[in-house]
Structure 1
C-alpha cells in the first residue's frame, strides 16, 4: 500500500497484488454479489433473512431545510419484494421500502430505523439545519472508502473561499472550491472535521460547520481456524480464514490468501478455505491468512497458528527374528511400526522387498517368512507399510541378510582312477560343516552315471571289494542335512576306469 500527502492530510493509494495458487481447494462457493462461507450463513444475514441497512440518497447525513432526501430500507435479497417495511423515528412514520422527505424541516432531524419483515436495521442519524453552511459527510464511512468532504452553502450565496480542518489543524489552505477529495481512509482517520467558508450575499460572512467522522471497521482482523483438530496424516485438512463484515456493508466482496511459515501458498481468491485432501507431516507449519477487498483498499492479516500433522504411524523398521545365518534356518522378517493413539483402529498392510523387488504383496501380516533359507535368499530387505483407508505409505530402511553355507559343496575323492579288475575300489565324499553348525549330522549318497549305487546314509564312503569292468563310469556323490532334505549338494563327476588284467 502506497501513501502520499495532500495539504497535510494523508492520501492512501492501493497497489494491486496477485499471487498464484498451487493447492487443491475444497468445495467452496461464492455468490455473485455476496461472499458465502461453507457451513455458515451469508455475511450480514441472520438466518435466511438479510439484516436491513438504511441508505440515504443523496448520501449526506446533514441537509439544509427545504432540501429533499430519500431513505431506502435495503436488504439486498431477491425475496425483498415479499417483505413488509416500516419506518420509525421515535414512532412509526411510514410504511414502505422507500421513504422520501420532499422538503425537509428541522423537526425531521432524528434517528431513523426501518423494519423489514422481522429484521430491524441499525439507526441512521439525519440532521436538518437552517444554517448557511454545512459540512457534508456520508451517512457512514468505512475503512477503504474514498472519502470526499463538501463544505456546502445555501443557494443564493456566493462562495469566496473554504478552509478544511481536522482536529483543529488545517489540512488545506484557502480553496476556491467547496470539495476536498480526502482519498482512501483507514481507522486512524477518525476525528473531528470542520470547514470554514467565507460567503457573500449582501455582505461577506464567514460561517463554520463541523462533524465527527468515525471511520468504521469494514471487517474484523481475520482468524485462521482448523477443522477437526488435531490432524493426523491422511486426514482431510481444512483451514478457514474467518472474519466478519460490518453489518452496514454486508455485500462487500472479500478475497482471501493463505501463508505457511511466511510464504504464500494460495494467492488471493474468493475462497476463504485452504486445505489438503490427504495431509502429510511435511504440511505442518505456522499458517496465517490475509483478507482484502476486491480493490485491495483494505488488507488485514491474521496471527500465525501452528498446525501440527501427527504421524498416522511411525516409520517402519524391518527386523530379523533370530538372525538367519546358515542355509536351512527358519527366516522370519518383521515390519515393525506403531499407530498414533489418535487412530488406533486404523488397519495397516505390509509388503516386503529384496533388492528392490517385491517378495510379498501387501497383506495384513507384518511378517515375511522363509521356512528353509537358501543362499539365494541373501540380499537387502525392506518393507512398506500403508493404511488401508487413506493414502499414507512409508518405507523402512534396508537390512542386509547374508545366508552362509551349512556345508561346502562336496568333492569326490577316488583311491585310484585306474583300477585293475578284481582290485578294491574306494570313493570318499569330502565336505566340511560351517563353524556355526559343527554338530549338524550329514548324510551321503553315491551315484554312477547318474544312477544311485548307495542310498543316503551317515557313511561318507562307497567301496567295491573286487571291482569289475562294469564298475567303470562317472561317479558323483550328494550330501544333505540329516534334519532336512531341503539342503542337498552334489559333487562334480569323477571318471573311474576298471581295466582288465589280460
Structure 2
C-alpha cells in the first residue's frame, strides 16, 4: 500500500508543489543528556487534511525507522531524523545530539529574524554550579549566577555565531559545554514588485504583484501586503492578497510604485524596490470607410495619439508571424492610405508614434478584405412543361463571386417574395404555383457593398381546367332526351382533372357539347387510360 501511495505522491508533485512537513521538538532543544527522551511532531499544516492521513513514516539516518498512525514519535539517539506523511515529500532533517557531558548548552532548532530565543546552559542533576558564563566566538557575552537561561531578543544577523557556556563549580573547577552554532534565518525575503505591464495603454487593466516567500518552517505565520506610489499615497490598505488590480489605469497614474510585506508576530516589515510604470496614450486605428473593407476600395487608416504635442513621426507596420514585421511607411502625417485594397493586404496592422525618445505603439487591428458580390444569375426549375397550377417550382439565385454571408432577395414584378442570408454563394426559394404567380421574376444579392440585380425570368402558369375551345351549346335536360348510360358527376372527387378526357368535368354545364343520339348506336364505353396529349381538347368522338 505504501508503494502505491508513493506513486500517487510523485504524480501529484507535478500538478502542484506540495510543501514539506516540518518537525517540531518537545522540549524545543537540539541537545540533551543521554537517557532523556525527545518527542518529535510531524506537522503537515493546512495543505493536508489530517483526517485523511493514515500513516506517518519516520527516518533515522536516511533509513526508515518506524511507521506510526499518529504524527508523534519519541527518540533518544544522536543522529538525523526526518518524517513523511503518506501524501507528502519527506521533511528537512533535524539533527539531535544526546551528550554524556556534565554541562550542555541547549539552543532552539531554528532562530528567525525578529523572533526571541533562549540559550540554556544546563548541568547534570548531580553537578552544582556557582556561576555560568556565556561566550560568543570566545568572548564573554554574559555572566549569570542565578539563572542559566540567556535570552536573545528580536534576533537579527548580529546574533549569528558560535556560542558556548562555561560553568564554575563550588571548588572553582570549570567545566565547558558543547558549542552551538546560531544562524538567524530570514523569515521572508524582501518582496519584489511586479506588474502585468510596465508600459500599459490608457484604460488598460494592470495587476501589481508583491512577490515574496515565507519560510517553510513557519507556514502558519500570516503575511500582509501594502501597495504605495511615489507620492507615498497608499493604493490599498493592508491585505492578505499579494495582488492589486487596477481596473482602469490613467496617464496621471504614471510613476514609481513599491510594496511592503509584514508579519504581526513577530513584528517584521520589509519593502520592495521601486518599479516605474509609464502609462502610454492609446494609439488607435480609425477606419474612415465603413466596415467591412471591400476589395478594390480605398481604405484610410488614422493613427490618433492623444496627449502628445505635435509634431510626431508615425510609422506603419504589418505583422508577419513568420518573419520581421514589414514597415509600410513613415511620415509626419497620421494618415495612411491604401487606394485600392487587395485581398493579399488583409492582416494585422499597427502604428508607432514617436516623439523625441518616447514611442507609443497602437493596439493591433485586424483588417478583413471582403470580395464584393458579383451579379447573380436567376434560374427557374419546374417538374415539367407546360407550367400548371399546383406544381412546385424552385427559383435559384447564384453569385459566382462574393465573400459570405450573402443576403439574397427574390422578387416578382418588383414585389419582394423572400429574403435570406446564407454562408454560401447560392440560395433557393420553393413555392406552389397558382395562376396569379405568372409574371417576371428576378433576384438580388448583397454582402454589404450594395445589391446586385440578376437577369429577369418570365413565368406563365396555366390553370388545370382551362378550356381549349370556345363554342357553347345548352345541355339538354334529362326530360328531353333518353340516354342509354349515366353521365359522371362533375363533382366526383375520383375524377382526375389531369386526364384530358376529364377536362370537360372542370367546365360549367353550359360549355359541354352533346352530340345527337341515335338509339341504334351501340353505347360508348369510357376508356380507362387516355393516350391523348394534354393539349388536345375533348372531341365529339369521346362523348355520346
1:278 aligns with 2:282: no
- Write the distance in 1 (CA, Å) between the matches of 2:195 and 2:308: 32
Which residue number corresponds to residue 134 of structure 2?
A: 164
Hey, what's the Cα distance between the residues in 1 that align with 2:80 and 2:186?
21
- Aligned mates of 2:209, 2:14 — CA distance in 1: 19
The 3 A distance-change label for structure 1 pair 262 and 147 is farther
The CA deviation string for residues 167-204 of structure 1, in whole angstroms up to 9 with x for no partner, is 2222223442101121010133211111112245x985
TM-score of the two chains, using structure 1 as the length reference: 0.52
- Give the Cα–Cα distance (whole angstroms) in 2 for the partners of residues 92 and 316 of structure 1: 70
Give the conservation status (yes or no) of the 8 Å contact 1:239–1:275: yes
Cα distance in structure 2, aligned partners of 1:45 and 1:189: 39
1:257·1:264 contact (CA, 8 Å) conserved in 2?
no
Aligned-pair CA distance for 1:244? 0.9
Task: Structure 1 unaligned segments of length 5 or more: list them.
Answer: 1-43, 319-334, 347-502
Number of aligned positions between the proteins: 284
1:341 maps to 2:361: yes
* 2:227 is the alignment partner of 1:258: yes
Quick one: structure 1 residues 244 and 48, their matched pair in 2 at CA, closer, same or farther if it must change by over 3 Å? closer
Asked if 1 retains the 8 angstrom alpha-carbon contact of 2:198 and 2:276, the reply is: no
Q: Note if 1:183 corresponds to 2:153.
A: yes
CA distance in 2, matches of 1:166, 1:317: 64
Asked if 1:215 corresponds to 2:188, the answer is: no
1:89 aligns with 2:60: yes
Determine helix, strand or coil for the equivalent of 1:231.
coil
Structure 1 pair 45/207, CA: closer, same or farther in 2 (3 Å)? farther
Does the CA contact (< 8 Å) of 1:53 and 1:248 recur in 2?
yes
Of 112, 115, 128, which residue of structure 1 is paired with 2:98? 128
Q: RCO (CA 8 Å, sep 6+): is it higher in 1 or 2?
A: 1
RMSD: 3.2
Q: What is the DSSP-based 3-state SS (H/G/I as helix, E as strand, rest coil) of the residue aligned with 1:278?
A: coil
Q: Does the aligned pair in 1 maintain the 2:223–2:262 contact within 8 Å?
A: yes
Alignment of 1:5-404 (within 5 A): 47=16, 49-77=18-46, 79-83=49-53, 84-90=55-61, 91-96=63-68, 97-101=70-74, 104=76, 108-117=77-86, 118-199=88-169, 204-261=173-230, 263-265=232-234, 266-295=236-265, 297-313=267-283, 314-315=305-306, 341-345=361-365
Q: Which has the larger radius of gyration?
A: 2
SS at match of 1:282: helix
SS at match of 1:120: coil
Q: 1:295 to 1:98 in 2, by over 3 A?
A: closer
CA distance, structure 2, for counterparts of residue 81 and residue 296 of structure 1: 30
Q: What aligned pairs does 1:333-482 form with structure 2 within 5 A after superposition?
A: 341-345=361-365
Alignment partners' CA distance in 2, 1:155 and 1:203: 18
CA separation of 1:163/1:122 partners in 2, compared to 1, >3 Å: closer, same or farther?
same
**TM superposition shift of 1:45:** 12
Q: Which has the higher strand share?
A: 1
Q: Structure 1's 304 and 317: CA in aligned 2 closer, same or farther, altered over 3 A?
A: closer
TM-aligned CA distance change 1:215 to 1:206, over 3 Å: same
Q: Which runs of 4+ in 1 moved over 4 A?
A: 202-205
User: How far does residue 46 in structure 1 lie from its aligned partner after superposition?
Assistant: 8.5
Alpha-carbon offset, residue 228 of structure 1: 4.4
Q: Judge conservation of contact 1:110–1:125 (CA < 8 Å) in 2.
A: yes
Partner SS state of residue 155, structure 1: coil
Query: What CA distance in whole angstroms lies between the structure 1 residues aligned with 2:275 and 2:24?
Result: 39
- Relative to structure 1, the CA distance from residue 189 to residue 92 in structure 2 (aligned partners, 3 Å threshold; closer, same or farther) is same
Equivalents in 2 of 1:286, 1:344: separation in Å?
28
Give unmatched runs, 5+ long, in structure 2: 1-12, 284-304, 310-333, 336-350, 354-359, 367-544
Aligned equivalents of 1:277, 1:250: Cα separation in 2: 32
- Please tell me whether the aligned partners of residues 282 and 306 of structure 2 are also in contact (alpha carbons under 8 angstroms): no
Q: Report SS of the residue matched to 1:240.
A: strand
CA distance in 1, matches of 2:364, 2:17: 42
Matched residues in 2 for 1:170 and 1:195: separation? 9
Any idea what SS the aligned residue of 1:172 has? strand
Q: Secondary structure at the match of 2:153?
A: strand
Tell me: CA distance 1:289–1:46, structure 2 relative to 1, closer, same or farther (3 Å). Answer: farther
Q: Distance in 1 between matches of 2:110 and 2:281?
A: 51
Q: 1:342 to 1:133 in 2, by over 3 A?
A: farther
Alpha-carbon distance in 1 for matches of 2:120, 2:15:
36
> CA separation of 1:161/1:262 partners in 2, compared to 1, >3 Å: closer, same or farther?
farther
